[in-house]
Amino acid sequence: MRNRVFVSCPLPGSAVARLEREHDVVIGEGPRGVRGDAFARGAATFDAIVSLVTDPIDASLLERAGRVRVVANFAVGYDNIDLAACAARGVTVTNTPGVLTEATADLAFGLLLASARRIAEGDRLVRRGAFDGWRPSFLVGTPVHGATLGVVGLGRIGQAMARRARGFGMRVVYAGRTRAAPEIEKALGAVHVPLDELFERADFVSLHCPLTPETRGLVSRARLGRMKAGAVLVNTARGACVDEAALAEALVAGPLGAAGLDVFEDEPRVNQSLLALENVVMTPHVGSADRSAREAMAATAIDSVLAVLAGQRPAHPVGG
Ligand code: GLV
């Protein structure tokens, strides 16, 4: 039997065409997703939703979309979804883990290098014609090799980040809700430390935790205050894990030397005080944005919808 599926916006690759062969698909308009007219018009008729991180899926939406049986989030994170509201209505929620691990770690390491070695600042300088010759103390940055990376959350992406750090001759400490298996610690040379100690010991802190009530504001004014002089923060997780106002202050008055940010507290709005700073490298939430990761995310999300609509268990359910 054909069902009706709302897909928040056009997706890369051929996965949606595969879905269209079995079901009727309505594709939303760009960034408005479930807030757009296409969703509003058909809400009560949809059996499944493929959502983006920008689509809030909450009790009131599910009330309007009472037939929905599965919400397949095109993302590994699912803080945009009220899991309790979904569970209360028997709605299955799925995500797309694994396929974006390496892409996200690539971007995180890119931000680490760019912040440490002032790559974006140098690019701006060259473009405005201010490169007036080589000098010994010109645009001198923070050493990467031999430095200590603190990974907050040694899950898939945190481990991929740690592997890159080892390749660059860094030491790795980590903190997180769960301790990694001894063989993982050994393979990565990663030492488990309490969270506050990580902020004190690391030259670079990189966030790889989900946004939950426990991690909201995890990089607080107090923790920023514990960081080493000149330390660097990298965030490819979620903006709300960081107190952005406190971060901007720590980048101006110390102790932070720089930050590399792919995510922001109130996306797509970016804190004005960060925009004014030379020692921040910013990208527009593109952690998983490489071609193969994005196509694989689409395939994974669509497979989940097809499985649930066929009465099967999807490969990546979240929330029990
Ligand atoms: C993107 O932010 C994701 O969670 O996949």
- The structure's pTM equals 0.97
Cα dihedral sign for 118, 257, 265, 7? Answer: positive
DSSP calls for 143-166: --TTPEEEEE--SHHHHHHHHHHH
Provide the pLDDT for residue 263.
98
- Please give the tally of structural domains in the chain: 2
308 and 232 share one domain: no
Same-domain check for residues 120 and 202: yes
As a whole number of angstroms, the distance between CA 111 and CA 74 comes to 23
Confidence of residue 151 (pLDDT cuts 50, 70, 90): very high
What's the gap in Å between 129 CA and the centre of ligand 1?
Answer: 37
Are 90 and 107 within one domain? no
Q: Which residues line ligand 1 (CB under 6 A)?
A: 53, 75-77, 100, 287-288
Q: What is the pLDDT of residue 213?
A: 97
Residue 80 sits in a domain whose CATH number is 3.40.50.720
Q: Is the pLDDT of residue 62 over 80?
A: yes
DSSP string computed for 274-299? HHT-TTEEE--S-TT-SHHHHHHHHH
- Is 23 assigned a catalytic role? no
Question: Confidence class of residue 29 from pLDDT cuts 50, 70 and 90?
Answer: confident
Q: What is the mean pLDDT of residues 208-226?
A: 98
Residues 54, 116: one domain?
no
Q: Tell me the mean pLDDT in the region 279-298.
A: 98
What pLDDT does 319 receive? 87
- The rounded Å distance from CA 104 to ligand 1 centre is 9
Mean pLDDT score across all residues of the chain: 98
Atom of ligand 1 nearest to the CA of 77: 4
Instruction: Please check whether residues 129 and 254 belong to one and the same domain.
Output: yes
Structural domain of 133: 101-282
> Is 80 exceeded by the pLDDT of residue 320?
no
- Cα–chain-centroid distance for residue 127? 30
**Do 22 and 130 lie in a common domain?**
no
Same domain, 119 and 160: yes
Reply yes or no on whether 267 is catalytic.
Answer: yes
Pocket test for ligand 1, best of 52, 53, 101, 215 (most atoms within 8 A of CB): 53
- β pairing state of 171-175 and 190-192: parallel
Task: Name residues whose C-beta falls within 8 Å of residue 281's C-beta, 6 or more positions apart in sequence.
Answer: 111, 114, 115, 119, 120, 121, 258, 259, 260, 261
Distance CA 244, CA 217 (A): 9
User: Which tens digit of pLDDT belongs to each residue from 88-128?
Assistant: 999 999 999 999 999 999 999 999 999 999 999 999 999 99
